[in-house]
Amino acid sequence: MTEYLMRTWADIYLDRLSFNLHQIQATLPASTKVMGVVKADGYGHGDALIASSLQAEGIDFFAVSNLDEALSLRSSGIHGEILILGFTPPSQARVLSEKRITQTVFSKEYAHQLNDACLAEGVRLSAHIKLDSGMGRIGFIQDESRSAAEEIAAICRLPAIHVTGIFTHFSSADQLDEASVAYTQRQIHLFFNAVEQLERLGIRFEHKHIQNSAGIAFRSNLHGMDYARAGIILYGAPPSGEALPFALQPVMELKTVISMVKEIPAGCSISYGRTFVSTHPMRIATVPIGYADGYPRLLSNRGFMLIHGKRAPILGNICMDQLMLDITSIEDVHMGDIVTVVGQDGADRIGFDELAALCGTINYELMCLIGRRVPRVYHKDGEIVEVVDYLQQSRCENRG
């Protein structure tokens, strides 16, 4: 394999993305297609290459969080459907319509504003209805005492909004304790109830979807769904600490290099604030990665990286662009040696989930935090197929 050596970079293995996609497809019923969730720059993996690879695998529906992300996909040559999962200002109705972007409609007020904006612009747009079955975020509220069916049916009759789908979102499908499982089951019931009530009102939906990654993993036998919205599992990471019923391969590995090696005696302090002071002679390596690269400062004196397959603990406070590692027990470390920040090295592996646990957060957040100044290096069939360096791209490239 070609070695890519820079300051700090993210290796993205597209073959592993394909592997994960096939695992997901094998889990779902044959009639349920995968919707590729590529919001937040493809969970930090780069939306353009991730979405294009998925498109080459036959994926025809993508989900993003906002209009800019949707336009970014269009300018990357994504021609399938794109669903915006969140709010888009009604003033953008024309762009939504012209770029064939499907907007989530989650309230009566929003639906009417969108419809009015479309009528004023003389356009029509596609929409999916969002049902709130218990997430408590956005959506038409459906519970045991309130039915959203009448309100949704009225929106389906608005002249400028073409409703093509309906969906809801699980709040705790990643947790397998009894109460969470019952809550997920209730969400499923409420969704099916709403769809049934709407069918009785003469409304049918082409695209129904509920599952996120956790739903795919732990509710794979949900029938009657046209799509499942796969996010984090596409990238090869689990949605929670619960063991998954299928194998995944982590798509991203984060690498940096040793910039300097030194010996220090006892009584030396390392980094800002002198939070680490040596009690014996040590060997220290400095690496050019810091919190501005998205490596959390919370890992100061807590995290570790892999060098020659061995764990090197982080010493002292993490700086904006650099940090120090204890390499006292690792032989033969030199300037230029590759350091695995996240990924496999020899028999050991550091996952986003392990680092997230140390920070008291989740793997999702750490993936999204990987900075813009970290180039993404794409590998396929053992070769580098593309390098995306955000800082070298022209400022308006995506708006052309």
Ligand X SMILES: *Cc1c(COP(=O)(O)O)cnc(C)c1O
DSSP 92: G
Q: Which span (225-233, 300-308, 336-344, 370-378) binds ligand X, by CB under 6 A? A: 225-233
Which residue's entry shows tokens 């900075």? 371
Sequence-distant (6+) residues with CB within 8 A of 267 are 277, 278, 279
Q: For this structure, is 272 an active site residue?
A: yes
Question: Does 374 engage in binding with ligand X (CB under 6 A)?
Answer: no
Binding of residue 168 to ligand X (CB under 6 A): no
Q: Are strands 61-64 and 81-84 parallel, antiparallel or unpaired?
A: parallel
Question: Residue 342 is which amino acid?
Answer: V
Q: What angle do CA 371, 366, 133 make, to 5 degrees?
A: 120
Catalytic annotation, pick one of 39, 130, 208, 255: 39
Structure tokens at 130: 């969002």
Task: CB nearer to ligand X: give 127 or 306.
Answer: 127
Which of 105-113, 181-189, 228-236, 374-382 is the region at the interface with ligand X (rule: CB under 6 A)? 228-236
37 touches ligand X (CB under 6 A): yes
Q: Which is nearer to ligand X, 209 or 379 (CB)?
A: 209
Which of residues 45, 128, 169, 219 is near ligand X by CB under 6 A?
169
Among 213, 240, 256, 340, binds ligand X (CB under 6 A): 213
The residue type found at 24 is I
- Residues 54, 60, 64, 70: is their CA dihedral positive or negative? positive
How far apart are CB 234 and ligand X at their closest, in Å?
8
Considering 183, 255, 272, 364, which one is annotated as catalytic? 272
- Please, which residue, 169 or 219, has the CB nearer to ligand X? 169
The minimum distance between CB 235 and ligand X, in angstroms, equals: 8
The number of residues that bind ligand X (CB under 6 A) is: 12
Specify whether the CB–CB gap between 313 and 326 falls below 8 A.
yes
- Closer to ligand X by CB, 235 or 295: give it: 235
Least distance between ligand X and beta carbon 121 (Å): 27
Ordered DSSP codes for 125-154 = EEEEEEEESS--SSSEE--SS---HHHHHH
Phi-psi region of 127 (alpha: psi -120 to 50; beta: other; left: phi over 0): beta
Residue 45 binds to ligand X (criterion: CB under 6 A): no
Max intra-chain CA distance, the chain: 79
For ligand X, the binding residues in 80-139 under the rule CB under 6 A are 85
Q: Is 231 a binder of ligand X (CB under 6 A)?
A: yes
Task: Report in angstroms how near the CB of residue 39 gets to ligand X at its nearest.
Answer: 6
Alpha-carbon distances, residue 248 vs 23, 136, 343, 346 (angstroms): 7, 30, 13, 19
> CB 37 → ligand X: shortest distance, Å?
4
Please measure the distance between the N-terminal and C-terminal CA atoms of the chain and give it in whole angstroms. Answer: 35
| Beta bridge mates, 12 | 252, 378
Please identify, using beta-carbon distances, which residue of 219 and 255 lies nearer to ligand X: 219
Minimum distance from CB of 302 to ligand X (Å)? 26
Distances from the Cα of 91 to the Cαs of 71, 88, 169, in angstroms?
A: 16, 8, 26
Closest contact distance (angstroms) between CB of 93 and ligand X is 21
Residue 290 is a binding residue for ligand X (CB under 6 A): no
Residues 204-217 as b/e (b if ≥16 CB within 10 A, e otherwise) read ebebbbbbbbbbbb
Q: Among 232, 314, 339, 377, indicate the residue that binds ligand X (CB under 6 A).
A: 232
Structure tokens at 158: 């608005």
Q: Which stretch binds ligand X (CB under 6 A): 185-193, 197-205, 210-218, 294-302?
A: 210-218
The three-state secondary structure class of 86 is: coil
For ligand X, which stretch binds (CB under 6 A), given 45-53, 111-119, 207-215, 355-363?
207-215
Tell me, yes or no, if 390 is annotated catalytic.
Answer: no
Element (H, E) at 230: strand 227-230
Report the catalytic residues. Answer: 39, 272
Residues forming contacts to ligand X in the complex (CB under 6 A) are 37, 39, 85, 169, 212-214, 229-232, 239
